[in-house]
Amino acid sequence: MTIAIKKRAAYALSTWLAATFCLTFQVGALAAIPIQQWTQPNGAQVYLVESPAIAMVDVQIEFDAGARRDPAAQAGLASVMTGMLEKGLLAKDGAPAMDENALSEAWADLGAQFGAGASADRMFFSLRSLTEPDLLDKAVALAARELAEPAFPDAVWQRERQRLQASIKESYTRPGSIVARAYAPAVYGTHPYGQQITEETLSRISVDDMRKLHAASLVACRAHISMVGAVTRAQADAIATRLLARLPQTSCASLPAMAEVPEVAPLAQADEKRIPFDSAQAHVLIGQPGYKRADPDYFALTVGNYILGGGGFVSRLTKEVREKRGLTYGVYSYFSPGLHAGAFTVGLQTRPDQAPQAVALVRDVLKDFVANGPTEAELKDAKDNLIGGFALRIDSNRKLLDNISGIAWNRLPLNYLDTWTQEVDKVTVADIKAAFTRKLQPEKMVTVILGAAP
């Protein structure tokens, strides 16, 4: 069987399993979701939801080694390091070396999937496999090798670096990328959340840098493991143990403390940046630092933002900017909370000559919402939509795993998903008004406008 055919077979199988899981899980989506949690002898934290209906398991392993820990001169290090894991394995403990083609074919043979990446806060690794004993055993063994014994071949990195640098250069021709690159440092200042991957930062990254980051970051005691699937607690514990077995087993108590990352500084004043660009549409981003995920205002801000600009066609921004004035096809707002204060952002596209009017209107809507909050009718509609749509947040293995890993990473209560709709239902107009007043300062936001008429 060729690699292409194997990959198609694996994809078809995983797609069928995911669809079947959706149909099965929706029946009991609103029932309690029992999350089991324990600490392994090596210090790793494990979170499990048993879902025996489908013979498969999804695993996510996370470490505090995201982009916020990249050196400024080497922005992108965590991302490219995880991207290089699939490019080959070292020969070790009797297991043969594998290049990127052999590794890809091995995964296709198993009908399993392994992935890796880095977000602003986390470095993450994911495994999906059938739970048929022989297949699962081989998938876990291969995942453990890819997690702990990447080859980091220099020739492949030279090729990948050129590809990434070419992609970055190409992004300079796209207005959406240009405005986003200008917006992040305007909101975050010198905080790592605002660091940009450039051709220069990639040129400063070597495979030796990747090896050092890998050795320093991937230590068993610092792992957060989330698991959803047809496995018992005993099986899950065994899987977690095997996945981490090839990583350093040093006690976290004996490791040096991880460096503190500073908090995002609030904006001192409003700022507006205009970027000339020949475009049929002006691109606009308005915002400021928002809040951390651990903030007690989380639910009030979540519901409030749904009303303001996160609810699509039913949001206030859409009604005021699109429906009443016809200034845009779409306008939105969102918070991106993390371990630090992620940005609050309003975005839209409009005709270049209408950009000043659209920006002024968005600012007015923001000021009014922060000052007065939503109406009772808006709050009721938002609650109906959020509570009614809750099942869609957990209607697949992948979505449920994302929620479980969020609980693990943010140290949320194990009954978080069971009480989510209750927490939403408890939010009042006064709660939203108070939370938005505490978090947003419309008079100090940054505005980035690309392609507006002079």
Q: d(Cα 237, Cα 40) in Å, to the nearest integer?
A: 8
Q: Residue 101's closest CA among 1, 3, 5?
A: 3
Whether residue 30 has pLDDT greater than 80? no
Band of pLDDT at residue 31, cut at 50, 70 and 90: low
State residue 23's pLDDT score: 37
CATH tag, 271-450: 3.30.830.10
Decide: 407 and 414 in contact? Cβ < 8 Å.
yes
Does residue 197 have a pLDDT over 60?
Answer: yes
For residue 6, pLDDT over 50 is answered with: no
How far, in Å, CA of 83 to CA of 94, rounded?
Answer: 25
Higher pLDDT, 13 or 107: 107
pLDDT of residue 453: 77
Question: Using an 8 Å Cβ cutoff, are 391 and 30 in contact?
Answer: yes
pLDDT at 9 over 70: no
The rounded mean pLDDT for the chain is 93
What pLDDT score does 313 carry?
A: 92
Residue pLDDT, tens place only, 323-364? 999 999 999 999 999 999 999 999 999 999 999 999 999 999
Beta strands in 302-367, from DSSP E residues, in sequence order: 331-335, 342-350
**Whole-prediction pTM value?**
0.90
Q: Report the distance separating Cα 116 and Cα 142, nearest Å.
A: 14
Average pLDDT rounded to a whole number, residues 410-431: 97
Which position has the token pair 């206030």? 316
Domain extent listing, the chain = 3-254, 271-450
pLDDT higher than threshold 70 for residue 262: yes
Question: Is residue 28 scored above 90 in pLDDT?
Answer: no
Q: CA 280 to CA 181: how far, in whole Å?
A: 20
Phi-psi region of 173 (alpha: psi -120 to 50; beta: other; left: phi over 0): alpha
DSSP 8-class letter at 128: E
210-223 per-position pLDDT tens digit: 999 999 999 999 99
pLDDT in tens, 134-172: 999 999 999 999 999 999 999 999 999 999 999 999 999
Name the DSSP letter for residue 65. Answer: -
pLDDT digits (tens, 9 = 90+) for 377-409: 999 999 999 999 999 999 888 899 999 999 999
Query: What's residue 396's pLDDT?
Result: 87
- Of the candidates 130, 137, 109, the one whose C-alpha atom is nearest the C-alpha of residue 14 is 130
CATH architecture label of 3-254: 2-Layer Sandwich (3.30)
Q: Which of these, 148, 152, 284, lies nearest to 205 by C-alpha position?
A: 152
- The proportion of the chain whose per-residue pLDDT surpasses 90, expressed as a percent, equals 91
- List, in order, residues 6 or more apart from 249 with CB less than 8 Å away: 42, 220, 221
Residue 111, number of CB atoms within 10 A of its CB: 21
At residue 299, the 3 state secondary structure works out as helix
- In this prediction, residue 454 carries a pLDDT of 74
Element (H, E) at 340: none
Element (H, E) at 447: strand 446-450
Over residues 10-38, the mean pLDDT reads 55
Residue 421: predicted pLDDT: 97
Phi-psi bin for 369: left (phi > 0), alpha (psi -120 to 50), beta?
Answer: alpha
Q: How many CA atoms lie within 13 A of 94 on its CB side?
A: 1
Other Cβ atoms within 10 Å of 62 Cβ, number: 22
Give, for 163, the enclosing helix (H) or strand (E): helix 154-171
Q: What is the predicted pLDDT for the residue at 15?
A: 43
